[in-house]
Amino acid sequence: MVRRWIRFLGKEEALKLMNWNNSDPYFSLRVNTTNGYTRDDLVNRLEDLQVHYEKSIMDEFVRIREGMQAVLQAGLLKEGMCAVQDESAGFVVSVVDPQPGETIMDCCAAPGGKTLFMASRLAGQGKVSALDINKGRLRILMEAAKCHNLDDIITDIHGDLRLYAT
């Protein structure tokens, strides 16, 4: 693999990639604006918990490298202040750009990060149908929807998308 990276990227870029690949990962937290929170609210709580963070280019996200245990113990996820969500999934939602009043179908929806984010963008006006083959993961999605006050916007559909493809 290293030889292939060097061949395609050159030695300098391959070394950068290998160093990045061996660095500690970070967690992205998305603030739950549906519950009235702002990124500043989340940042203030992280500062109170002495969790170092950096702001994302996306307004709803912050990144942390350490301190996830403190975030969990403080109940920030359980109380619905934020959710763990990769920023790449957030970018997908930005591209979809959900608007109030729209109806959205999210296929292969569980565990629900994009579903929740899209539903929050609807500002209480619209619907998101969350289709997934895994009933247990759909249940987790709906528990998160309730925690984020989005359970009246999201409808879960247990099904196999492959059965609808013709």
The pLDDT profile of the chain, 166 residues, written as one tens digit per residue, is 999 999 999 999 999 999 988 887 889 999 999 889 999 999 999 999 999 999 999 999 999 999 999 999 999 998 889 999 989 899 999 999 999 999 999 999 998 999 999 999 999 999 999 999 999 999 999 999 998 899 999 999 999 998 877 6
Q: Is 82 marked as a binding-site residue? A: no
Residue 1, C-beta contacts closer than 8 angstroms, at least 6 positions apart: none
Q: Is 160 marked as a binding-site residue? A: yes
Q: Is 151 marked as a binding-site residue? A: no
Q: Is 132 marked as a binding-site residue? A: yes
H/E stretch holding 8 reads: helix 2-9
CA 20-23-29 angle, to 5 degrees, is 100
Domain annotation for the chain: domains and CATH numbers: 23-84 (3.30.70), 96-163 (3.40.50.150)
Q: Is 48 marked as a binding-site residue? A: no
Predicted TM-score of the model (pTM): 0.79
d(CA 156, CA 132): 8
Q: Is 67 marked as a binding-site residue? A: no
DSSP of 90-157: HHHHHHH---TT-EEEEET-TT-HHHHHHHHHTTTSSEEEEEES-HHHHHHHHHHHHHTT-TTTEEEE
